[in-house]
Structure 1
Amino acid sequence: MSAHSTTGTMSEMSAVRRDDQARLIMARCDELASHSSMDGGIERVYLSPEHAQVDALAAQWMAEAGLATWRDASGSRVGRLEGDRPGLPALILGSHLDTVPDAGRYDGILGVLLEIEVARRIGASGARLPFALETYAFHEEEGVRFGATLLCSRALAGTWNDDLWQLHDAQGVSLRQAFSDFGLCPERIGEAAKKPAEVIGYLEAHIEQGPALEAAGLPLGVVTSIAGARRFEITITGEARHAGGTPYPRRRDALVGAAEAVAAVERIGQQQDVIATVGQLRVEPGAVNIVPGEAVFSLDLRAETDEARDRAWDLIHEEFEAICRRRGLTLDINQIHQAHGVGCAPALMDAIGAGITQATAATEPPMRMWSRAGHDAMAVADLCEVAMLFVRCHDGISHAPDESVLTEDVAVALDAYEAAIWQVAEHYRRRQGA
């Protein structure tokens, strides 16, 4: 990449124009928030009417940005800007438009809108990249409807598992039926996959979903790795008996055992410096005057490395067994999800870091951090090298209506994202010997 390609395109984009783009992105986040299946809040799930509505908007905005656009076989919206010549491998920019229930308006959504506006900038610059640029608006990153995460990005990476067709939503609709109802063909899902030779890398912009950037007074950060999670359903079984007639020595109280287990999860998580969360708890029979006979709770476990996460699980598992032995309870463990952690590619991280430095005129290296949340980049890593740009969010709040970002941070993120792409282009040209 020549000096003109890096700084010339950036200088041609005035601060006023950049700020206009940032305000446009914020307004579009608000517009997307109006497409929801939930009264008084935001919820959009995979292959729903709301999915179709925001897909249509993404198609419109990608086309307006000068991109050729289509919907792939998984339901993702894709845009493409050609490089020096048609048919070149692509640098993929991606994020997601689906949400959790009662969501904020920036998780995933901000990344999709940033990639569209960055592609618009590059297309309007007059300079051409040595590769194509593709923008992806994924769905079912969150796993809300069918309980399986990263479905569209897994389809892109070619790791779709046909067992997924057996999944059903809460209404009993199978994934296969939902595909057909949406106008997609289950038998063509393989067409969503890219070949490694068709891709040079993947970049994703996302809100941090944590407080580190705000605490440091920084708008942007470089992601070093993405935590792999293990999720369990834990069942502790005792004996349901009359609360009034059963003395303490005779009780096998499943809820008291579960409460002790939950406290152990927090203690071990803190001691081992991993993230261990119990987010669900169900008690049976659930009557006020019955000693609980069964307690079922979730465990979400994640860490900077898979090794640290798995060491913590071994300790937690041992503690669960000890609690149940001591209290005369039985323990059943069902692992319902496992995802390996993903390290970001050094060259792509360096490109994002250089982009942040250029956009912020910082004299110190940008903050580097590991992502405690999962992202589409985890699935795409099975296809190609990945890296991520984090954008500050207020108080680290995410997956909640109070999710918030600053317009000025969005403006800086636009500059950094574009500069990172030109840095990737420079590295790619050198590697190709051009």
Structure 2
Amino acid sequence: MFVDKAKVYVKGGDGGDGMISFRREKYVPEGGPAGGDGGNGGDVILKVDEGLRTLVDFKYQRHFKAKRGEKGKIKKQQGANADDMIVRVPPGTVVHDDDTNEVLADLTTHGQEVIIAKGGKGGHGNVRFATSSNPAPYIAENGEEGQERWIVLELKVMADVGLVGFPSVGKSTFLSRVTSAKPKIASYHFTTLTPNLGVVDVGEGKSFVLADLPGLIEGAHEGTGLGHEFLRHIERTRIILHVVDMSASEGRDPYEDWVKINSELYQYSEKLKELPQIIVANKMDIPESEDNLKKFREQLYEHHGELDVFEVSAVSGKGVQELLYKTVDVLDAIPKQPIVEEVSEIEDRKIYTIEDQSEKEPFTIRRENDVFIIEGERINKMLKKTQFGTYDSVMRFSRTLRNMGIDQALREKGAKDGQTIRIGEYEFEFVEKE
């Protein structure tokens, strides 16, 4: 099965909670705070594995969650950091954010890694909050939540040579002759609905990867039929073998076929004009093909000048070996790296994070009847980290809100002593303090 697109959920591990602890040692009657920090949550990392060819594994597993960090320990010991979760993907995988459609990573080389969901930091233990005025704080933080998102993995076939042409021109037959691939072959259109890959052994130590790309139709560049699904796979090939049915068995004109397919390719991507193209006149074992080929050459010369045309019969094998030699010669003359669009700057290990909005807009206040509702990314983050089971933690949360200017903003909105303030799932009573 060839799966070239998958939508999956990824979540970094949550950070471990900080601990509240005090020294309880003999001969130390007034031991200070000793609660350690929580460990960091694991990252979710995508790693390229050249042994993979499809995204079929993601058909059966769509959720990937890294483990959370360990809680803080006594004696100022930090909890252990969680192990990262490694998710292996084939080379040629492009990663999109499902919400924004932003391209997050373009993974092409074996061993390349990208952190796609960052784990949360561990919460501070009470040893972190000791001050001269409060030498024994009863405060600790919860660990941060790990980053989470839905992503779309899109695989572009990594092949040296791509076969293109109208449906039923003989591409699958050609692939089955020159490789060990076993594509489905029949006399109806769109037999090939997914790309078939095969390795061509030309001899003398020469070989290349060949992809039989599904048949194109007019309007493919606009998404007609399965146009975009097909055209995507051509972008990373280094040579195009353009197969033309010279027998005109489908009632189409060979030259018009060649022009229409090129039009679809170039309208989809200007970069495809830069790829070398070899014209393959197929089905030359059929009597009508000789006359059609003569007319085809004349039309080519009239509109495009002298172009090489290779006469072959995929059924009988005539001319196939000469075509393969030519293909290898062209491949040797161009760079080995596939021509790809530079969609993102990838480092060996790069962290992608959702943009933090807290600095742009620290908080907003709105009123619903007699309840004042406070919202903001920074406040929500602080709310999740606060352990409301202790008095010291509650007072620290209250001081932080006051320092952010929320008390004054509430007064300006008309808040009175005793009115309800809601932050997330929590409700508080506004206490007027001048």
TM category, shorter: under 0.3
Q: TM-score, normalised by structure 2?
A: 0.23
The structure in which a higher percent of residues are helix is 1
**Which structure has the greater CA radius of gyration?**
2
